[in-house]
Amino acid sequence: MKLTALLLLCLTPLVAGGACTGDGGTCETVFSSVTCTEVGGNEESCLHATGTCENVCERANVAGYDSPCLCTKEFQGCTGAECDYEVSCGGTIDCADFDNAVHCSVSKGCKWDPSADPTDTVEASIFTVDDYMTYLVNQGVSNEEDFLVSSSPQSMALQFIAVDDGLDLGVPNGDLDTTEGYEFITRYALAVLYYATLGPRQWSFELNFLQATPVCSWYSVLQYADSSTEVRGVVCSRNATSNPTALYLTNQNARGSLPAELGFITSLVVIDLDNNRIAGPIPESYQNLSNLTNFFAQGNRLNGTFPAWILGLPNIKNINFSTNYLTGTVPVTAGDSQSLVGLAIDNNLLTGSIQDTFDTSVRVGMTDLEQFYIENNLFTGALGPNFMKDLTTLQYLDISDNDFTGSVEAHLFELSQLLVLDMHDNGFDTLPTEFPENNNLTLLALQKCSFSSQPIPPSISNLGGLKHLDLSQNALTGEIPSSIGMTNLTYLFLAQNDFVANPIPSWIDDLTSLQELSLKSTQRTGTIPSFLGDLSDLVILDLDDNDLVGTIPHSLGNLGELHILLLNRNNLVSVIPDTFTSLSSLRLLYLDANELIQGDLDVLFCSNPDFEDKPVIVASCDVCDLASSECCAVCCQGTSECNTGFHVPDLDPIWQLGYNRVHFTFGREDFLDKDRVP
């Protein structure tokens, strides 16, 4: 009998440990009499315990995350009938020689014949790299060709798991669906991911990948200056047997591409890869991630065809692929997704019609959809009469900046929970003739469409909750209806339409919440009403390019919040009111191309100590002396239009401020296990 090495192992029942407690800082009492297999294991790995673990938690317990506690104390030994015998690699043991043997086993990382009689002699030898590779290929995890190139992520991960890995996992006896097989494959797949996204050279933060600990410890807790914290890396669910449920790699400077191997970590619920430089396609193998609820890969360089099958994953809720280079269409089956809550595929290169995909009279899904962002793609065609019809859960709908055509259907305004409807910058040509009643809608953006030869329907007042209304840059006709004066408006842009010439409407006086008003190029006549000076929240007042006459009212000097005042391209004859010295927030003032504007810009603004930041002023060369005045940016001769060139796009509010998109938030609390009580 050759007995080169043996180890006594102790099997003590697991005593359920308390979760880490303590808020922030060091975690106290972890679990009292839990025993651990591996030093460096965490609570879950203590299921296979053989040593005594100290009551020490090495990681800060971040509220809401229940970061795993690390066992730090070595195996203490044992005696008696509970003992097992283990052979180290290269050894042989005759189990019959030991009275107390329950069964024999070999230490991790050793190869042995599982069919050998465990009460008889067991021989153990060392696994070769080829043994590991054969397993990976036979299980369909990686392709043999991937191992031919020594610099491939697969080759490097193989070298790690077969040779360098301090955890010394052997080649599993069972398939991927055994505990041993799954642990192995998860470790390998995460190593492939690490190499495939250039982890060793490029990752911004050390996330403890490839450490000699279970993968559930491959993470870091980032602490920010404001003492908030964030978990990055692998997160395991607390009460499962250490299977990874989330992968957070946001802002990690990850490059390269996504490996197919990740699709084998089927316990993943969340993948968050936001804001990296990962290129290439989303591998088809991710179709196997049937527990995935959230997949975020916003702000990368993903290309290839839009992986529509992701919408078919049985549990998928939130998808955010904003700002990538995805191409292709959104097939009709996407509209059958049952579980989807939020879809953000904006800022890609997607094409085709979506009318049939989101025709809710035909498609069966989308019943939980709340956010739908597809703006800034190349979609075409009409939306049709049943687009998103009766989707009573929908709150945000942004289809702006595409090439959609046809009518804006009234039924969209019947969506009872809709808060934001942004359809701007498309080829829509017809507004509803009658808006239905809806007080929930707060933002309606229909600028830069192709509405022409039709007036604004007076029934727009049925949208009484609107705060933001933009109908600019169309060719709307008729009178501006007084019903548009909805009292909650903070933002009203009617610029660049073909309305009937008329004075600035008096109902604007009632819009006391107004912050941004543009009546640029709307054929306004008469004088500038002094009541505009009552709108004390105004930040932008744009009256550019009208037929306004008379003087500039002194009351405008009351607008202490005003940043942008555009009075250019009118027929004003006025001295700049000396009340303007109170406009200390002013950043931009256009006065050019009027009949006659007089005043001393330096005295009013540029030499005035109340103006810490000098406003940018464009005016006639009569008042705006480029040579001597600090605050004059451009001067124009007479009434000629000079302020239409280079200066305008940079500083014109339509260009500069636009519409601030309302982001939807995917709170992390949404996808952490509900039973992970902070």
Ligand X SMILES: *[C@@H]1O[C@H](CO)[C@@H](O)[C@H](O)[C@H]1NC(C)=O
Task: Count other C-beta atoms under 10 Å from residue 75's C-beta.
Answer: 19
> Could you say which of 22, 280, 328, 505 contacts ligand X (CB under 6 A)?
280
Select the residue interacting with ligand X from 303, 360, 380, 585 (CB under 6 A).
Answer: 303
For ligand X, which stretch binds (CB under 6 A), given 266-274, 448-456, 551-559, 562-570? 266-274
Compare residues 134 and 239 and give the one whose CB is closer to ligand X: 239
- Cβ-contact 219, 242 below 8 angstroms: no
Does position 612 interact with ligand X (CB under 6 A)? The reply is no
Q: Is 239 in the site for ligand X (CB under 6 A)?
A: yes
CB closer to ligand X, 29 vs 440: 440
In order, the DSSP letters of 283-330 are PGGGGG-TT--EEE--SSEE-SB--GGGGGSTT--EEE--SS--EE--
Q: Binding residue for ligand X (CB under 6 A) from 344, 354, 539, 588?
A: 344
Rounded Cα distance between 234 and 298, Å, is 19
Q: How many residues does the chain have?
A: 678
Min CB(603)–ligand X separation in Å: 42
Write the binding mask 351 to 380 for ligand X: x where contact by CB under 6 A, - elsewhere: ----------------------x-------
Q: Name the phi and psi angles at 201, rounded to 5.
A: -105, -30
Q: Where are the beta strands (DSSP E) in 95-184?
A: 104-106, 110-112, 121-126
Q: Does 464 bind ligand X (CB under 6 A)?
A: yes
512 touching ligand X, by CB under 6 A = no
Q: Which residues have CB under 8 Å from 667's CB, separation 6+?
A: none
According to the binding rule CB under 6 A, does residue 75 interact with ligand X? no
Q: Which stretch binds ligand X (CB under 6 A): 48-56, 211-219, 284-292, 443-451?
A: 284-292
Residues 6+ apart with CB under 8 A from 186: 215, 243, 244, 264, 265, 267
In the bound state with ligand X, the residue whose beta carbon lies nearer, of 76 and 416, is 416
What does R_g of the chain's alpha carbons equal in angstroms? 34
Out of 284, 403, 547, 610, the residue judged to bind ligand X by CB under 6 A: 284
- Closer to ligand X by CB, 266 or 477: give it: 266
Nearest Cα neighbor of 519 from 467, 468, 563, 480 is 480
Q: Is 322 in the site for ligand X (CB under 6 A)?
A: yes
Query: Residues 101 to 140: which contact ligand X by CB under 6 A?
Result: 140
And the tokens for 101?
């043997």
Angle at alpha carbon of residue 431, lines to 430 and 432, rounded to 5°: 120
Examine residue 287 and tell whether it contacts ligand X (CB under 6 A): yes
Contact window for ligand X (CB under 6 A) among 39-47, 263-271, 329-337, 626-634 = 263-271
- Measured CA to CA, the distance from residue 334 to residue 315 in angstroms comes to 14
For residue 347, the minimal CB distance to ligand X (Å) is: 10
Choices 129-137, 423-431, 438-446, 635-643 (CB under 6 A): range interacting with ligand X = 438-446
Beta carbons of 584 and 601 less than 8 angstroms apart = no
Closest CA to 20 of 677, 671, 670: 677
Choose the binding region for ligand X from 57-65, 205-213, 291-299, 590-598 (rule: CB under 6 A). Answer: 291-299
> Of the ranges 110-118, 261-269, 526-534, 600-608, which one interacts with ligand X (CB under 6 A)?
261-269
Distance CA 455, CA 442 (A): 21
CB count in 10 Å sphere of residue 454: 15
Single residue of 298, 496, 558, 643 touching ligand X by CB under 6 A: 298
Q: Judged by CB under 6 A, does residue 285 bind ligand X?
A: yes
Q: Which is nearer to ligand X, 453 or 482 (CB)?
A: 482
Q: Any contact of residue 263 with ligand X (CB under 6 A)?
A: yes
Rounded Cα distance between 492 and 466, Å, is 10
**Among the candidate windows 111-119, 129-137, 285-293, 642-650, which touches ligand X by CB under 6 A?**
285-293
Which CB atom, from 375 or from 652, has the smaller least distance to ligand X?
Answer: 375
Question: For residues 256 and 335, which CB has a smaller minimum distance to ligand X in the complex?
Answer: 256
Give the integer Cα–Cα distance in Å for 661 and 421. 11
Q: Are 302 and 277 in contact (CB under 8 A)?
A: no
Q: Are strands 564-566 and 540-542 parallel, antiparallel or unpaired?
A: parallel
**Residue 530, burial from CB neighbour count under 10 angstroms (0-12, 13-18, 19+):** middle
Residues that bind ligand X (CB under 6 A): 140, 239, 243, 263, 266-267, 274, 279-280, 284-285, 287-288, 291, 296, 298, 303-304, 320, 322, 344, 373, 416-417, 438-440, 464-465, 488, 663-664, 673, 675
